[in-house]
Structure formats: C-alpha cells, structure tokens
Amino acid sequence: MTSKPALNRRKFLGLSAAALTVGASSFSVPAQAVPFYSYPVRQLSFYNTHTNEMYRGAYFYNGGYDRKVMSQFSYLMRDHRNEEVARIDYRLFDVLHYLQARLQNFDTIQLISGYRSPQSNAMLASTRSGVAKNSYHVRGQATDIRMDGVPTEHIHRAALSLSAGGVGYYPASDFVHVDTGPVRTWGYGAG
C-alpha cells in the first residue's frame, strides 16, 4: 500500500531550495554544497537508545525507495514499550537526510523515540508535560533525535532552517523532535 504525500515532489523540492537559501543566511549552520535531493544514493544510520539496536541502509537509490530498508527502519523505530511496529512516513527519512546534509554530518542518528502506539502516547501524555495527545509519533511521522558530536542547539537551528515540518526543542533532555506535519515550532526546558 502506498501513501500519497501531502506535498508533491516539485513543491517539496521548491520549498526545500527556498529554505536552504533563507536558512543559510539566517542561522549559523554550515550550508551544504549539494542539495539532499540530488544525492543519487541516500542512506541513514540509526542507533535506538532504548533497544541498543543499530541499522544502516541506503533507503533511496536508482530513483526509488527501497522497501526492505524502509521496513527495517520502521522496525527500528517501533514503539519500544510494547513492540508495536508501524510504517514510518518515507518523507521523514528524507527530512533526516536533508538535516544531516545541512549539518554536513552523516554519522549515526541516535533515535530517542520514533513510532508511538496510541496506548503509549496516552500514557506519556498523562504523566509528562510536552507530550501532544494527537502526536505525529502516533502517525509514524515523527522522531526525537540527537547526534554524537553535534550540539542539540545546532540540530535545532538546522531543522528550523529546513521548514519541512514540526520542530520541537528539548535542550534539558538533549534532543530535537522532527516531524512531517505542518511547519511549526516549540521548545521546552530552555533555561
């Protein structure tokens, strides 16, 4: 089953190019020489901080997405509380690749949270502040990340410069939320 993205490819690429131009002048994040969408091969490497699992794979090559690698990424991003797996929005992987290109850092992404089942999300929303009742995690469209050697503040600024979806900043917990929902931003624990 194939889902249709909210943005068509041409509009997404146009917005991405505009965000790159504006973002490079607005933030002290190194600009990339080659836009992410011109990479003939896109790969990501993840480390799940809850399960200690790692997976690296080329998820896009020969002009298309590799279903096997995408399935492995979805499994790695499963709800670690109940082992429930959901298909992760392929656009999220492109946003993460684009983010790494902006940061000029293609090292392993530490995965704090990926998919959340409705039950896990409801439990977290009832016990913690900052957990949305209608979280994009439940839709398979969000992840919370950090990267070795990259300050969380830099990840946050780079993610904002993409204008590719929601960006949450959690400096006290040392992670950044990235999703493929509408462009919006929020922060918790700063200062």
CA dist., res. 103 & res. 29, Å (int): 7
Q: How many CB atoms lie within 10 A of CB 117?
A: 18
Q: Where are the alpha helices (DSSP H) in the chain?
A: 9-26, 67-76, 90-103, 118-127, 152-162
Per the listing, tokens 């959901």 go with 86
CA dist., res. 190 & res. 32, Å (int): 28
Q: Is 18 a residue whose pLDDT tops 80? A: no
The residue with greater pLDDT, 182 or 21, is 182
Q: What was the pLDDT predicted at 124?
A: 87
Q: What was the pLDDT predicted at 21?
A: 36
Which residue ranges make up each domain of the chain? 9-187
Q: Is 46 a residue whose pLDDT tops 60? A: yes
CA dihedral of residues 81, 82, 88, 94 (deg, nearest 10): 20
Q: What was the pLDDT predicted at 189?
A: 55
**Closest to 160 in 3D by CA, of 81, 79, 73, 99:** 99
Q: What was the pLDDT predicted at 27?
A: 35
73-89 per-position pLDDT tens digit: 999 999 999 999 999 99
CA dist., res. 191 & res. 94, Å (int): 31
Q: Is 36 a residue whose pLDDT tops 70? A: no
154-182 per-position pLDDT tens digit: 999 999 999 999 999 999 999 999 999 99
The two beta strands, 42-48 and 109-113, are: parallel
Q: What was the pLDDT predicted at 37?
A: 57
**With bands split at pLDDT 50, 70 and 90, how would you rate the model's confidence at 133?**
confident
pTM above 0.85, yes or no: no
